[in-house]
């Protein structure tokens, strides 16, 4: 896979203008979205899917869609064909929004990043799915692997019972480890001699690995004289990367980034405990290659596949492109548990990835029916199994619990183990997501690159600006403190 396919994605500047439009528009979902089944027998229909360019799970979902034609013909008696368009992460929302804002049905089904659900839902551009699910026995009967699937890929507001997306690709963070290094007898003896305990060896060992011991492993394998280092993980200012990495530390050490119910950010994000978590995150750069502050998905993959690091905290979704590190072997296990407040009980909460399908609210009644039939087909066990065999991460319980599932792909065991409400959490599902993220990205990256020396200043800056964005948008009644306006990143 070419690095450009998942190279750093920085859509923040362009999305700011789009999200301003989102909050100003209030379009209603047509009644056709909620109509009873439309009889399409004998009809010929063309559907359009808009997907994410350069992102394998999106492409896989699109590549499989023509097989739906056989299902539709056999079960409902109509012919359907698909056209496809795509755009990279950094421009897909704008591309979709520009069309949807005109009430166009150019794209009947869209692959959305999970955090965009609020941006698509708030102006009424996509179908609220509750009624569709309720009236369709097959959709209503779907059992997802864990509530985290529903919360991450379906709900807006986050964690509510308002459903706007159908899960396409589940995704969690896993730890890619150099198995050849880990199991080398000489390396194991040298580590034990230096630190007085054995490195983990099995998947089960990594389940109980805590961050303080993990840091010792990173230190041991950091060998600049050999151009070999301990870790690669997300640090880049582009798209959501530094937030993704920092949130792993904040959440796993017991912190929060906001109160999802009240919209409170000030006093929740900028705590002394979160400042310590941010400092611990920055400290991990000691064990990363030079230039790691710019690591996005592509940067992590290049470091890993180039044989430059012992391990990488990375998405399960790219597993098939992480299986052959230079001169080594890969092993995929859970990322380490942190300790609450740095010295308490072990806890492991990492960022969720993955994407849902969303349905255009301006489809005519015929295309709305086809979209519903498509979702019905997508969640059949045979289709979900085929998705898994091709390298996608399915989300339904019957497939993930099927004997042998974890052996289909090397990353499936780690993916399944992490796909849990107790181990994963998503960003804000808010129409202001992009600009909220931009402020956090700016603040967090300023700290890890030494523009700001005090992590608390970085958090204060982010908390004030995100609080202000939510208050100005009307998402919360909590005003930002006046003194926050004086905080600078220096």
Query: What is the per-residue pLDDT across 387-398, written as a single tens digit (0 to 9) for each?
Result: 999 999 999 999
Q: What is the pLDDT of residues 223-256, one digit of tens each?
A: 999 999 999 999 999 989 999 999 999 999 999 9
Distance between CA atoms of 34 and 368, rounded to whole angstroms? 9
Residue 10 confidence class, pLDDT cut points 50, 70, 90:
very low
Predicted confidence at residue 62, as pLDDT, reads 83
* pLDDT tens-place string over residues 351-400: 999 999 999 999 999 999 999 999 999 999 999 999 999 999 999 999 99
pLDDT of residue 45: 98
Residue 19 pLDDT greater than 80, yes or no? no
Domains and CATH numbers, the chain: 3-171+354-418 (3.40.190.10), 173-351 (3.40.190.10), 433-486 (no CATH)
Long-range contacts from 133-141, C-beta under 8 angstroms, 24+ separation? 133/163, 135/36, 136/372, 136/376, 138/376, 138/379, 139/372, 139/375, 139/376, 139/379
User: Which pTM value belongs to this model?
Assistant: 0.92
pLDDT for res 113: 93
Query: Could you tell me if 424 and 172 are in contact, meaning their C-beta atoms sit under 8 angstroms apart?
Result: yes
Residue 13 pLDDT class (50, 70, 90 cuts): very low
| CA dist 409 → 359, 393, 406 (Å) | 30, 10, 7
Share of the chain above pLDDT 90, in %: 88
In sign, the C-alpha dihedral spanning 132, 133, 134, 137 is positive
Q: Across the strands, what pairs with 309?
A: 229
List, for residues 211-226, the tens digit of each pLDDT value.
999 999 999 999 999 9
CA distance 296 to 10: 10
How confident is residue 4, by pLDDT bands cut at 50, 70 and 90? very low
> Does the structure show a pLDDT above 50 at 11?
no
Contact call for residues 233 and 360 (beta carbons, < 8 A)? no
pLDDT in tens, 263-309: 999 999 999 999 999 999 999 999 999 999 999 999 999 999 999 99
Q: What are phi and psi of 58, to 5 degrees?
A: -65, -45
């Amino acid at each position: 896979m070419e690095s450009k396919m998942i190279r750093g994605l920085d859509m923040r500047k362009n999305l700011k203008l789009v999200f301003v439009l989102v909050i100003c528009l209030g379009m209603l979902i047509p009644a056709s979205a909620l109509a009873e089944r439309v009889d399409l027998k004998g009809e010929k229909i063309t559907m359009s899917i808009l997907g994410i360019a350069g992102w394998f799970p999106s492409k896989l979902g699109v590549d499989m869609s023509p097989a739906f034609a056989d299902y539709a013909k056999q079960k409902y008696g109509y012919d359907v064909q698909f056209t496809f368009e795509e755009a990279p992460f950094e421009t897909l929302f704008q591309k979709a929004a520009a069309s949807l804002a005109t009430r166009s049905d150019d794209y009947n089904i869209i692959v959305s990043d999970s955090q965009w659900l609020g941006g698509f839902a708030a102006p009424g551009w996509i179908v609220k799915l509750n009624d569709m699910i309720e009236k369709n026995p097959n959709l209503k009967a779907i059992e997802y692997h864990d509530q985290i699937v529903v919360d991450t890929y379906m709900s807006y507001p986050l964690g509510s019972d308002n459903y706007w997306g159908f899960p396409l690709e589940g995704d969690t963070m896993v730890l890619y480890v150099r198995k050849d290094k880990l199991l080398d007898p000489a390396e194991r003896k040298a580590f034990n001699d230096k630190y007085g305990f054995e490195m983990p060896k099995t998947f089960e060992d990594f389940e109980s690995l805590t961050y303080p011991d993990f840091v010792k492993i990173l230190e041991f394998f950091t060998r600049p004289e050999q151009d070999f280092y301990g870790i690669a993980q997300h640090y880049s200012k582009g798209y959501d990367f530094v937030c993704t990495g920092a949130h792993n530390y904040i959440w796993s050490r017991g912190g929060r980034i906001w109160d999802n119910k009240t919209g409170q950010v000030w006093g929740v994000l900028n705590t002394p405990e979160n400042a310590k978590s941010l400092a611990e995150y920055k400290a991990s750069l000691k064990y990363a290659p030079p230039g790691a502050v710019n690591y996005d998905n592509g940067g992590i993959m290049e470091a890993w596949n180039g044989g430059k690091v012992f391990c990488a905290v990375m998405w399960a979704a790219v597993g098939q492109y992480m299986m052959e590190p230079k001169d080594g072997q890969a092993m995929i296990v859970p990322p380490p548990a942190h300790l609450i407040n740095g010295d308490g009980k072990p806890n492991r909460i990492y960022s969720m990835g993955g994407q849902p399908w969303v349905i255009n609210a301006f489809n005519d009644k015929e295309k709305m029916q086809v979209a519903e039939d498509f979702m019905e087909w997508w969640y059949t066990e045979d289709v979900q199994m085929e998705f898994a065999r091709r390298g996608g991460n399915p989300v339904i319980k019957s497939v993930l619990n099927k004997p042998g599932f974890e052996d289909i792909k090397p990353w499936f065991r780690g993916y399944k183990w992490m796909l849990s409400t107790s181990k994963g959490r998503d960003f804000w599902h808010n129409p202001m997501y992009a600009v909220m993220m931009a402020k956090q990205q700016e603040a967090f990256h300023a700290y890890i690159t030494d523009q700001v020396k005090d992590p608390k200043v970085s958090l204060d800056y982010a908390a004030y600006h995100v609080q202000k964005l939510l208050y100005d948008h009307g998402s919360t009644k909590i005003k930002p403190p006046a003194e926050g306006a004086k905080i600078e990143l220096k």
